[in-house]
Structure 1
């Protein structure tokens, strides 16, 4: 932990004596200053717990008649943005098991705590929380581009398909492929190919709405799930992205390279082009295939209608 940077600890507990004791401990922790924020209110505690502003939360397991466990589950359990250490009245096996199953990183028995024990638990919980956050990110995101990975794409699009069917919302799928990507790899090497991929991913990810999902579909293919977006609007957005990409080549300063990058894309919508996830992906793949074979650097919709080709 970095010295002189305030380390913020959240305490959710309704015992004034314990609060005072922990405040004294915080003053003795190394690498401070340490700031202890206390609340006795479960609703306020939940809001603070979910804010992500704190290094760690010390949460009373018996809070308000035993609602500490429920509070952590409501905050997300293992996915809670703040690592939690439960404060237990005793070390009964059932309480410890319930605390860990609720998503706690560690536990402390109130009567037994010492300043070094609390400090060690806080540092351990923070380190474990950081590790779990990285693992969660790796489970849902592509390591190279930072986009959602194929597995997360499949989860998101299945969810959107259900929403579309239930509420009658239209959503669109854009399946794009980097033109002549193999040639880039063969000519300049895979490291440059990776730079091109990251360049495209950064541009697409930075120029789409927060509610849309940009995913690495596989290889040099990128999928964009545009929620509550008709196909015509999705085509307009895709063409705008193509135009922006045409103005933004991939620069490789240490090799003095400027690489123009173009995409081909298939744009389809549910329910216009399919009635299922499998059908929608197949329709997007077919439209992309047509865009490739029509000369690349273009958008083709599910109906097979060609769109404007951007020429440098």
Structure 2
């Protein structure tokens, strides 16, 4: 559809108000869509000489969650099904679109987008800390492994253990233990970059995927986390005293310590065990350890 036609339809909406930005180029449209800066996308089935559904597939593969409504002059069921399978929120035939129909489609697409976002949050977040959960961490780790391998980049995996967490639970109770976990989560988020991923790996273990940098950089960051943690006790409701705690951290880097996700996790786990064996409240680098014994 032409820009002016869609713009006039938007102007005639009864309730909602939208600003329209037009892009007829496949590459630049994909780049804009994957920024997440738009509340919705009206996508033509044919984008110049390219396939609009392929753009939708590429955007979905890039973890774009912006609701997309596909517009086409082909009124066949096959196109409808193909659009839904590609990830479209809705499908409209150009010959049948009216301002009222388009407004309703956008309203429903936005509502569906909010619902799916809530479901994604529940599926990918730890209930206690709000951090990423283990499943999402492993998905991101696999994706980062592919990216790093393709572009010859490095990244680090930090496995973090909350020292003597059982003693905290036994002494202060599980509600206090949950407060400590949330406190540690906030501390880690405050000490990491937006591009890094922070997760609860399970129980009293947390993890960070730190992109780029050298093994020395990752070890320095881990040591800084240990220092900040030991200097930042967790406040408790009055009249409770703040709870002191410390962290032990194992650091493994790709590709030095492992070429696969499994190898990298195993290397970080060995380094974590070494840190705990040294007396806790410290960080160890997997590449500084002797190679593991053959199975």
Report the TM-score, using the length of structure 1 for normalisation. 0.76
**Unpaired stretches in structure 1, ≥5 consecutive residues:** 1-12, 306-312
**Unpaired stretches in structure 2, ≥5 consecutive residues:** 291-295
Change in 2 beyond 3 A, CA 1:57/1:166: closer
2:223 to 239, 250, 254: 239
Query: SS in structure 2 opposite 1:175?
Result: strand
Aligned residues of 1:78 and 1:102 also touching (Cα < 8 A): no
- The alignment covers a number of residue pairs equal to 288
1:50 matches 2:34: yes
After superposition, residues 267-278 of structure 1 pair within 5 angstroms as 267-270=251-254, 273-274=257-258, 276-278=260-262
Query: SS in structure 2 opposite 1:250?
Result: coil
After superposition, residues 257-272 of structure 1 pair within 5 angstroms as 257-270=241-254
Larger Rg: 1
> Taking CA–CA contacts closer than 8 Å with sequence separation of 6 or more, which of the two structures ends up with the larger relative contact order?
2
2:183 to 199, 207, 215: 199
Report the TM-score, using the length of structure 2 for normalisation. 0.80
Q: Matched residues in 2 for 1:163 and 1:76: separation?
A: 16
Change in 2 beyond 3 A, CA 1:208/1:40: closer
Partner of 1:123: 107
Cα distance, 1:263 vs structure 2: 0.8
Partner of 1:36: 19
Cα distance, 1:150 vs structure 2: 1.9
Partner of 1:7: none
Q: Matched residues in 2 for 1:15 and 1:273: separation?
A: 53
After superposition, residues 241-256 of structure 1 pair within 5 angstroms as 241-253=225-237, 256=240
Partner of 1:148: 132
Cα distance, 1:67 vs structure 2: 3.9
Aligned residues of 1:173 and 1:226 also touching (Cα < 8 A): yes
Cα distance, 1:163 vs structure 2: 6.2
Partner of 1:72: 56
Aligned residues of 1:84 and 1:105 also touching (Cα < 8 A): yes
Query: SS in structure 2 opposite 1:98?
Result: helix
1:25 matches 2:9: no
Q: Matched residues in 2 for 1:195 and 1:47: separation?
A: 40
Q: Matched residues in 2 for 1:266 and 1:48: separation?
A: 38
Query: SS in structure 1 opposite 2:217?
Result: helix
Partner of 2:293: none
Partner of 1:9: none
